[in-house]
Structure 1
Amino acid sequence: MNGRHKAIAAAFKLMAATRADRWSRGFTQGAGMILTLHHVRPQMARGFAPNALLEITPEFLDEALSLIKAEGYDIVSLDEAILRLRQPKRGRFFVALTFDDGYRDNVEHAWPVLAKHGVPWTLFVTPGFADRTARLWWLELEEAIRALPRLDIALSDGPFAARTETDAEKNRAFDRLYWRLRKGPEAVLLSAISELTARAGIDPAALVERECLPWETLRALSGAPGVTIGAHTLTHPMLAKHDAETARREIAESKARLEAELAIPIRHFAYPVGDPGSAGPREFALAQDAGFVSAVTTRPGHLFPDHVSHFHALPRVSLNGLHQNETALRALLAGLPFWLRNRGSSLDVG
């Protein structure tokens, strides 16, 4: 856990110690919230795990759902969440569960817990992952750094070099290189990571095969009670880094492809990465033009009545793997962290 996440954990503890996660609800809590999840799988002991924030354990998912229910909150489908915004039920805070990318562990480890609690959930699928043609580049970077004792690579903005012999060195190198690549063009990011995976002898397609659901499972899943399938672009690009036609095609054709493969209507969309550098007003308009009922970002926040006019720029709250505890969850449910971050504003759609 880096300094930023240590500070976040300390803030959650302070909110609990002062009971701010309870007395603040009257002015910080919205009508509901949409949770973002990725992996759900048993905890693995490893010192170098830079993507650990993207995974929670089945046990914590069970605890989280139990707590949400114990608080008297409703766990609803994404369709019901949209309806609740249009037709509010006063005093009935709701939570919708969404899982991004289409990972195997969502079926193997998350679904049994979700079924135990009888709650609906949405899976946002990238067809390129089901095809084994798109890239889990953040996982490729992790596996390459895990395998290599040193990084030395030429980038468009200058060379990057780092020792990666120990777990601590690997964590530092990943953090530095990841954010440096994220700031630039996606083509540079993908090229640089391809060079590293080639040096490390890693097969990107094999990683996708290992991690992501195949079409046959997705077809079976699409007819299951309580399961909603949504679109997550064709190949998982950071849309705002691309020209308008590429972004339009990635959004619209992901809907068409999923509808053709699964024979169901696809009503909801999630922007890959989903932060302001990956999805903004242009992408919000494109998702609406493509015919989606809603589209979700990763901009953190609760849902408020004002979001009725912004169904294609909805915030979500990450169930972060670095903060798997009741203290953190209670703070997220209260909405206080987002009220402070957004300076009291209920909307972040610019």
Structure 2
Amino acid sequence: MLSSRSRHRLFEAGFRAVAVSGADRWLAPLARGRGLILTFHHVRPEPPGAFAPNRLLAITPDFLDLTLGTLRARGFELCPLDAVPERLARETGPPFCALTFDDGYRDNAVHAAPVLARHGAPWTLFVASDFAAGEGRLWWVELERAVARLDRVRLEAGGRLIDLPARDPAEKSRAFEAVYGALRAGPEGELLDRIGDLCGAAGFVPGTVAAELCLDWDALRALGRDPAVSFGAHTRSHPMLAKHPRETALREIAESRARIEAELGRPVRHLSYPVGDPRSAGPREFALARELGFATAVTTRPGHLFAEHTGHLHALPRVSVNGCHQSAAALGGLLSGVPLLAWNRGRRLNVG
């Protein structure tokens, strides 16, 4: 199996090939669809360290600036998420792009908001209400920090023992990938328990990262004074909803929206499924979002938006702006839709 770094090198080579061939230009009318929704997480200027397995979730302010400028140069109109259903239903008009940020990180207000304001860009921040309250588990960050501190990673996951050295960045990366892959495949309760054990072995308490990294309610209220900013729900505790009973998933979604609306005094019309891949959100979750009256709900399934998505507004794909691919070639490819159509084997819809 390829390591994550090897996969990213292959992806980057593919983006370069698309750019050199000009396919991102001449195939764009076929692959692009009517628009797209971009996904961001962290925006911060600091370069990643030698061991940074979550680097894919962070881009620099300069790359955000390049992204917004490239969108304009390629004829995209920036629109709020509220406008997506109507823009999808249009038969003519320029391509559109909506900008979304997941989790509610402090760096979005510090580093992303000024760039977005310079471009006059509307954007939606999806808030996990527990994170805004300084609670909850950003377990992917906890795992990274635990492995960074440990010289050896030892735990049982999925009925098998993982026992790996973690003395240097290469070993730490292999250990992180082994633990991440094994725990993501199993129940979320086991994932949280085992990562909590690693945090204890590394000398820190799990559940303390949100207060450090995420915007609290006061900061969100201050950010919300900007009319370009809208807020969406990202559940209460950021669970992989499909791994939980229906009642749990319903409560996570509904309680998140209620808390955000109560704290911020603004309607919440859009939902982002945590993690958002097919193992985390599927037809049951799409139906829940529809039943709860959300105007749209977004996944992390990769793809552009086509006319057919008007019938699947609670299973919308997004295009992730990946911190491992901060290049003009990667950006051009993603905005063209060419690599994504290939990834989806020519399918426009992936809603099963």
State the 1:257 CA deviation.
1.3
C-alpha separation in 1, matches of 2:224 and 2:235: 17
In structure 1, the partner of 2:164 is 162
C-alpha separation in 2, matches of 1:218 and 1:29: 34
Question: SS of 2:208's equivalent?
Answer: helix
State the 1:41 CA deviation.
0.1
In structure 2, the partner of 1:86 is 89
C-alpha separation in 1, matches of 2:68 and 2:323: 15
C-alpha separation in 2, matches of 1:194 and 1:37: 27
State the 1:201 CA deviation.
1.3
> Which structure 1 segments of 5+ residues have no match?
none
State the 1:155 CA deviation.
2.9
C-alpha separation in 1, matches of 2:90 and 2:12: 35
Q: Is the 8 A contact 2:238 2:274 kept in 1?
A: yes
Does residue 1:303 correspond to 2:305, yes or no? yes
Does residue 1:109 correspond to 2:98, yes or no? no
Q: Is the 8 A contact 1:143 1:202 kept in 2?
A: no
Give, as a single letter, the amino acid of the residue that structure 2 aligns with 1:345: R
C-alpha separation in 2, matches of 1:43 and 1:220: 25
Give, as a single letter, the amino acid of the residue that structure 2 aligns with 1:259: E
Give, as a single letter, the amino acid of the residue that structure 1 aligns with 2:26: W
C-alpha separation in 2, matches of 1:19 and 1:72: 17
Percentage identity across paired residues of the two chains: 54
In structure 2, the partner of 1:42 is 45
Match of 2:146 among 136, 144, 148: 144
In structure 1, the partner of 2:70 is 67
In structure 1, the partner of 2:24 is 21
Question: SS of 2:148's equivalent?
Answer: helix
Q: Is the 8 A contact 2:157 2:179 kept in 1?
A: no
C-alpha separation in 2, matches of 1:45 and 1:311: 36
In structure 2, the partner of 1:272 is 274
Q: Is the 8 A contact 1:252 1:287 kept in 2?
A: no
Question: SS of 1:135's equivalent?
Answer: coil
C-alpha separation in 2, matches of 1:8 and 1:298: 17
C-alpha separation in 1, matches of 2:115 and 2:43: 10
> Which structure 2 segments of 5+ residues have no match?
none
In structure 2, the partner of 1:184 is 186
Match of 2:137 among 129, 135, 138: 135
In structure 2, the partner of 1:30 is 33
Does residue 1:312 correspond to 2:318, yes or no? no
In structure 2, the partner of 1:204 is 206
C-alpha separation in 2, matches of 1:123 and 1:45: 23
Give, as a single letter, the amino acid of the residue that structure 2 aligns with 1:276: P
C-alpha separation in 2, matches of 1:92 and 1:203: 50
Residues 8-47 of structure 1, C-alpha deviation per residue, up to 9 Å, x if partnerless?
1111011011111111012111100000000000132510
C-alpha separation in 2, matches of 1:255 and 1:309: 23
Q: Is the 8 A contact 2:135 2:211 kept in 1?
A: no
In structure 1, the partner of 2:286 is 284
In structure 2, the partner of 1:119 is 121
C-alpha separation in 2, matches of 1:83 and 1:228: 17
CA 1:186–1:205: 2 relative to 1, 3 Å: closer
C-alpha separation in 2, matches of 1:103 and 1:228: 15
C-alpha separation in 1, matches of 2:253 and 2:206: 23
Give, as a single letter, the amino acid of the residue that structure 2 aligns with 1:296: V
C-alpha separation in 2, matches of 1:56 and 1:195: 30
Q: Is the 8 A contact 2:135 2:207 kept in 1?
A: yes
C-alpha separation in 2, matches of 1:249 and 1:86: 31
C-alpha separation in 1, matches of 2:173 and 2:156: 20
Give, as a single letter, the amino acid of the residue that structure 1 aligns with 2:340: F
Give, as a single letter, the amino acid of the residue that structure 2 aligns with 1:253: E
Q: Please, what TM-score do these two structures have when normalized by structure 2?
A: 0.97
Q: Please, what TM-score do these two structures have when normalized by structure 1?
A: 0.98
Q: Is the 8 A contact 1:43 1:57 kept in 2?
A: yes
C-alpha separation in 2, matches of 1:28 and 1:3: 26
Give, as a single letter, the amino acid of the residue that structure 2 aligns with 1:334: S
Residues 244-277 of structure 1, C-alpha deviation per residue, up to 9 Å, x if partnerless?
1001111111111111111111000000000000
Q: Is the 8 A contact 1:300 1:318 kept in 2?
A: yes
Q: Is the 8 A contact 1:164 1:173 kept in 2?
A: yes
C-alpha separation in 1, matches of 2:64 and 2:46: 12
In structure 1, the partner of 2:12 is 9
Give, as a single letter, the amino acid of the residue that structure 2 aligns with 1:290: L
RMSD: 1.1
Residues 147-201 of structure 1, C-alpha deviation per residue, up to 9 Å, x if partnerless?
0000111234121110000000001110111011000000010000000001111
CA 1:112–1:245: 2 relative to 1, 3 Å: same
State the 1:337 CA deviation.
1.0
